[in-house]
Amino acid sequence: MHGPIVLDAAARIIGADPPFRSRSRTVQGESAYAQPHLRIGVAVSDLTNAQSPSEAADALAEEVGELARAHGFRVAAAESLTGGRLAQHFASIPQCVDWYAGAVVAYQSEAKYAALNVPRGPVVSEEAARAMAMGVATLMGADAAIAATGVGGPDREEGHPPGTTWLATYVRGEVRTRHYEFDGEPLEILAQTELAAVELLRDAMRDAGDSQEPHR
């Protein structure tokens, strides 16, 4: 596993064009559609020189908390390559106990199979990310969950190069998945993954909150 993110290392990606490619899919009920993802709302290229990706993710986590309070969400996370970093963003928000259920960090494949009911097979995949999001939501009794799985580097895993990342959200019955190919050193890949993951959850919660009443 990698150690904690060093902000100076992560900050090297600030000011550049988004160093990744991505595609996304949303599934609700039996319908599905896919569309290209052109940019992240708070992308690395949008950050100022005074703001690191970690700080931007903290700001997005605050928005997640605001949405959770406003719309009655209970939030959870399932992490692999990020190793608990998403949990840190959510747990740092004041009074997060009101809405943040917790997280499962399942780094090894066997841990994903056992703890999150991920089907046996490749874990750097859309299917694994989807199962992780749904699994942690079930485990934690949450109705808003984010999952991250991928290759942090420096070596290839399951034939995939470093930076290959799958994210998934499960929010009140809707699953969204997104595939990224991040560039950079391991710390840079993790920083980009954190930022993309928290934003993906924020967006899914905001969309659901705009269209649904809180579950009772």
Interacting residues of 208 by C-beta distance below 8 A, sequence separation 6+: 71, 144, 171, 172, 174
Model confidence, pTM: 0.80
* Domains of the chain in sequence order: 23-211 (3.90.950.20)
Q: How many whole angstroms separate alpha carbon 93 and alpha carbon 107?
A: 24
Pairing of strands 174-182, 20-28: antiparallel
d(CA 152, CA 83): 10
Given a contact cutoff of 8 angstroms between Cβ atoms, the answer to whether 124 and 160 are in contact is yes
For residue 111, give Cα distances in angstroms to 105, 116, 123, 162, 165: 9, 8, 11, 21, 18
The token pair that represents 8 in the structure block? 């100076």
Amino acid at 202: R
Answer yes or no: are the C-beta atoms of 208 and 71 closer than 8 Å: yes
Could you read off the pLDDT tens digit of each residue along the chain, which spans 216 residues? 333 322 222 222 222 333 445 555 655 442 332 333 323 333 444 454 558 999 999 999 999 999 999 999 999 999 999 999 999 999 999 999 999 999 999 999 999 999 999 999 999 999 999 999 999 999 999 999 999 999 999 999 999 999 999 999 999 999 999 999 999 999 999 999 999 999 999 999 999 998 875 444
Contact 198, 83 (CB under 8 A): no
Give the pLDDT of residue 211: 84
Whether 67 and 205 have beta carbons less than 8 Å apart is answered as yes
